[in-house]
Amino acid sequence: MSQQGYTRCYSHRCVYLKTKNDGNYIILLLYVDDMLVAGSNMQEINVLKRKLANSFAMKDLGVVKHILV
């Protein structure tokens, strides 16, 4: 993720952040084999998902309905 311009959060090691000069951002949360992507620009999120799908076998389960913390 670092090669893609993401910064790893120091307080939560499975959280990655990417901010752009135009104010858009993406937050990537990883836990074992699950991932949650949130951001301010859906086009940027779709670009990230395509890049990840080129490197990993993955399924897009759609919009999240519940998050257990």
**Residue whose entry in the numeric block shows the structure tokens 């949360």:** 29
Closest CA to 53 of 35, 27, 26, 29: 35
Are 8 and 16 within 8 A, CB to CB? yes
Look at residue 14 in the predicted model and tell me its pLDDT: 92
pLDDT digits (tens, 9 = 90+) for 13-27: 899 999 999 999 999
Per-residue pLDDT tens, the chain, 69 aa: give them.
888 889 999 998 899 999 999 999 999 999 888 899 999 999 999 999 999 899 889 999 988 898 877
